[in-house]
Amino acid sequence: MRIARVTTAGDIVYAASDGDDTWYSLSALGFELSDSAAVVQQIPAIRERIAQAPAEAVVTPGEFLAPVVRPPKSLAIGRNYALHVKETGSDLPEKPVLFSKFPSSFIGSGERIVADNAYTEEVDYEVELVVLIGRTASAVSQDEALDYVAGYLVGNDVSARNRQRDDKQYDLAKGMDTFGPIGPWITTADAVPDPQDLDLSTTVDGEVRQSSNTRNMIFSIPFLIEYLSRVITLEPGDVLWTGTPHGVALGMEGTPFLREGQTVTCEVEGLGALVNPVSFDRSAAAVSV
């Protein structure tokens, strides 16, 4: 099942689809969902209700907005693919590198990544598998970790490399407004048999920049959930960005950072594609709320 946040007939609604391209308005089915925690807690009921949904609940999506709204936490892992570590000249981590990816940076597919050139002209892309937590997880073992996952999304951890380098931290460099494309929808965990065997890729104006598989993670999703939940309680609606593979602009000859007018497409197998144009005009910014 897929759960999206879409525009339709002048409104913004949550909608769900089960196995085809027919989308049903969840408000028309009696769900009042205001944030991601509410969404994940209602997944079993949503699945049951759309199986019997009437034709009048069908909607035609316009834009796919960021489906994750007001998550309790947005946690991200850096340097989690060995070839990416190598291309950036870093050392292989002995333990996960953790930082915050601010929810205020989240945008949906089709919305603009907007950089402020007074802060950066070194804007980079990073395709990632994003995990959505469905149950309160504290001191969870690897063996049971995936039982706490509600679903998965595609993420693009857009990064201002000069700020990352000069500030010697990640939060500002990766947390600027519009630097967190996420979506295009939530794919529920039951539809993803093995999250550690998914192809993921990035293209810029059709040119393949990144191409890898989640099996190449240094720290697996179950390991990360165990590692984090030992000291940080993971809550329903939390998101976990799991790192990016090699092929970022920073690691390429000539460092071909993103430029005005380019389009970045990030895909994860079975989870859809994020397509975002790039702008350095702050007046063009459109941030989902």
Tell which residue, 158, 169, 157, has the closest CA to residue 129. Answer: 157
Model confidence at 282: pLDDT above 90? no
Q: What is the rounded CA–CA span in Å between residue 3 and residue 56? A: 18
> Could you give the CA distance from residue 26 to residue 85 in angstroms, rounded to a whole number?
42
Residue 288 confidence (pLDDT) above 90: no
**Cα atoms in the Cβ-side hemisphere of radius 13 Å centred on 148:** 28
Inform me whether the pLDDT recorded for 285 exceeds 60: no
Sketch the domain layout of the chain as residue ranges: 2-62, 74-284
Q: How far apart are CA 100 and CA 82, in angstroms?
A: 21
Question: Under CATH, which number does the domain 74-284 receive?
Answer: 3.90.850.10
**What are the pLDDT digits (tens) for 230-251?**
999 999 999 999 999 999 999 9
Q: Are 273 and 108 in contact (CB under 8 A)?
A: no
Residue tagged 């996952």 (tokens): 149
Structure tokens at 94: 């002995």
Q: In the structure, what pLDDT confidence band is assigned to residue 198 with cuts at 50, 70 and 90?
A: very high
**Contact (Cβ atoms closer than 8 angstroms) between residue 108 and residue 184:** yes
- Over the stretch 119-174, which tens digit does the pLDDT of each residue have? 999 999 999 999 999 999 999 999 999 999 999 999 999 999 999 999 999 999 99
Percent of the chain exceeding pLDDT 90 equals: 94
What is the reported pTM? 0.96
pLDDT at 286 exceeding the cut of 80: no
**pLDDT (mean) for 264-284:** 91
- Average model confidence (pLDDT) for the chain? 95
User: What confidence category does residue 199 fall into, taking pLDDT thresholds of 50, 70 and 90?
Assistant: very high
d(CA 117, CA 105): 17
138 within 8 A of 233, measured Cβ to Cβ: yes
CA distances from 35 to 24, 27, 104, 188 (A): 18, 13, 14, 16
